[in-house]
């Protein structure tokens, strides 16, 4: 069972449990189900409104954030959150970006902190 802690300077932190193993639930879906006021518009990885900062708070050595989707790569570059060089390095290192689109990132079996 993954533990997802949503944190924002404007609201009290809220920790919710995500069902592990479904591999279909996005961070945004989980947030909306739990009334976390993350900004969003398109819900389709196009607008960049739902950009969040994700960090692992798990003790596992292996990060499980999963690779960025093509839409995330495009939008995060447009927003200036990642450069092409950083994207290429992430592939080499097999690490996800700390910046993600909540509507694209699938919750895995990893405890994470989501700053919105
Ligand atoms: Fe538009 Fe996520 S809501 S990119």
Q: Indicate whether residue 74 lines ligand 1 (CB < 6 A).
A: no
Q: Provide ipTM, 2 decimals.
A: 0.99
Domain positions in the chain:
2-115
Q: Indicate whether residue 96 lines ligand 1 (CB < 6 A).
A: no
pLDDT reported for residue 71: 92
- Decide: helix, strand or coil at residue 94: coil
The pLDDT of residue 84 is above 70:
yes
For helices 84-93 and 70-78, the axis angle rounded to 10 degrees is 140
CATH number of 2-115: 3.10.20.30
Average pLDDT, the chain: 88
pLDDT reported for residue 92: 85
What is the 47 CA–ligand 1 centroid distance (Å)? 5
Q: Is the dihedral of CA 28, 51, 107, 87 positive or negative?
A: positive
* Average pLDDT estimate for 94-106: 90
Q: Is the dihedral of CA 41, 76, 100, 36 positive or negative?
A: negative
Please give the number of the atom of ligand 1 that sits closest to the Cα of 71: 4
Rg (CA), the chain: 13
The angle at the Cα of 96, spanning 93 to 98, to the nearest 5 degrees, equals 125
Residue of 29, 38, 49, 72 best suited for mutating to test ligand 1, as the one with most atoms within 8 Å of CB? 49
pLDDT reported for residue 59: 74
What is the 48 CA–ligand 1 centroid distance (Å)? 5
pLDDT reported for residue 24: 79
Lowest mean pLDDT among 31-35, 79-83, 88-92, 99-103: 88-92
What is the 88 CA–ligand 1 centroid distance (Å)? 23
């Amino acid at each position: 069972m993954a533990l997802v802690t949503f944190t924002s300077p404007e609201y009290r932190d809220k920790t919710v449990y995500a069902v592990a193993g479904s591999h279909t639930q996005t961070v945004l879906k989980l947030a909306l189900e739990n009334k976390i006021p993350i900004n969003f518009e398109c819900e389709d990885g196009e607008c960049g409104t739902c950009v969040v900062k994700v960090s692992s708070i798990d003790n596992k050595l292996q990060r499980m954030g999963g690779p960025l989707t093509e839409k995330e790569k495009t939008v995060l570059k447009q927003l200036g959150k990642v450069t092409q060089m950083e994207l290429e390095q992430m592939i080499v290192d097999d690490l996800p970006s700390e910046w993600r689109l909540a509507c694209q990132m699938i919750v895995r079996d990893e405890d994470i902190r989501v700053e919105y």
